[in-house]
Amino acid sequence: MFSIIGIVVVFGAVLGGFLMEKGPLPVLIQPSEFIIIAGAALGTMLVGNPMFILKKIVGCVLLVLKGSKYTRQRYLSSLKMMFQIFNKARKAGLVGIESDIEEPEKSPLFTKYPDFLHNHHARDFVCDTMRMAITGGATPFDVDQMMELDMEVHHASATQPATALSTVADALPGMGIVAAVLGVVVTMSALGGPPEEIGHKVAAALVGTFLGILLCYGVVGPLSSNMSKLIDDEHAYYHVLRVVMLSFLKGMSPALAVEVGRRAVPEHVRPSFKEVEQACRQKDGAADAAAA
């Protein structure tokens, strides 16, 4: 939402200032210049990226418009879920969570957290890691190495759309110059005509440069930057999951492992100790009441 507001502010400020200077707004409406710039930028994107990255770019742009999904509530819900998994493993042994890990979509524990289940990579990240702990033979250090490798591969893949979009942003001023040069060519061919016609063609040529720079620094570049920040948010989320699981596998209690993970949460979305404690106790309280 804020990205949409930002784009509106960019165009509003630019066009508003132009109108304040008594600039004729119709002069800026040059469909041919826009087609040259946008079409050439789209072409460079198609040339420089395979299909799977192009699909990721579309998905990431939509995600930027929606905003980050890794909110305080998401972290609180995930920490509560991990506490319940560890608590069950502590009471029934690691084998007790084997059915949950093997078929998370059918697990009574995981189905209470649909956001986590729909995040396929996060789900596999947790389940595959805990599966290694259940099978035995892997030390906490070995499991940590596997988690780190998984995170590096996923992060490298996740950054590809942002990098591709940043490349397009860097090319847009050049595309604007191409449009401007073509406008100058058209202008030179009209020399000898009415001065009004020549002036209109020169203005159209300059609009090409204007559009290229505006789209680069006012739209595509900021979208790429925002996309990179969302990727960092996702990486931070996986880091918290990694810290929580590693702490438990090293022998910490579920409550202590979750607290270690809570402190790894970025500060602007970190739930308080009391919030996490209350969320974890909700399950314990229900279990105690049922046992009584």
Q: Is the pLDDT of residue 241 over 90?
A: yes
Predicted confidence (pLDDT) at residue 233 exceeds the cutoff of 60: yes
Give alpha helix (H) positions in the chain.
2-20, 31-48, 51-66, 72-92, 98-102, 114-118, 120-135, 140-189, 195-215, 221-249, 254-263, 273-291
Mean pLDDT of the residues in the chain: 88
User: What local confidence, expressed as pLDDT, does residue 283 receive?
Assistant: 53
* Percentage of the chain lying above the pLDDT 90 cut: 64
Confidence of residue 290 (pLDDT cuts 50, 70, 90): very low
- Neighbouring CB atoms inside 10 A of 58's CB total 10
What type of residue sits at position 22? Answer: K
- 288 has a pLDDT exceeding 50: no
Considering only CA atoms, which of 47, 45, 77, 75 is closest in space to residue 58? 45
Average pLDDT over residues 22-44: 88
Q: Distances from the Cα of 205 to the Cαs of 174, 178, 183, 197, in angstroms?
A: 14, 9, 4, 13
Q: If pLDDT is split at 50, 70 and 90, which confidence band does 287 have?
A: very low
Count of Cβ atoms closer than 10 Å to residue 215 Cβ: 21
CB 206 within 8 A of CB 191: no
Residues 79 and 260 sit within 8 Å (Cβ to Cβ):
no
pLDDT at 195: 75
Q: What is the mean pLDDT of residues 81-105?
A: 90
Mean pLDDT of 240-268: 94
Which of 159, 178, 157 shows the shortest CA–CA distance to 41? 178
pLDDT at 285 over 60: no
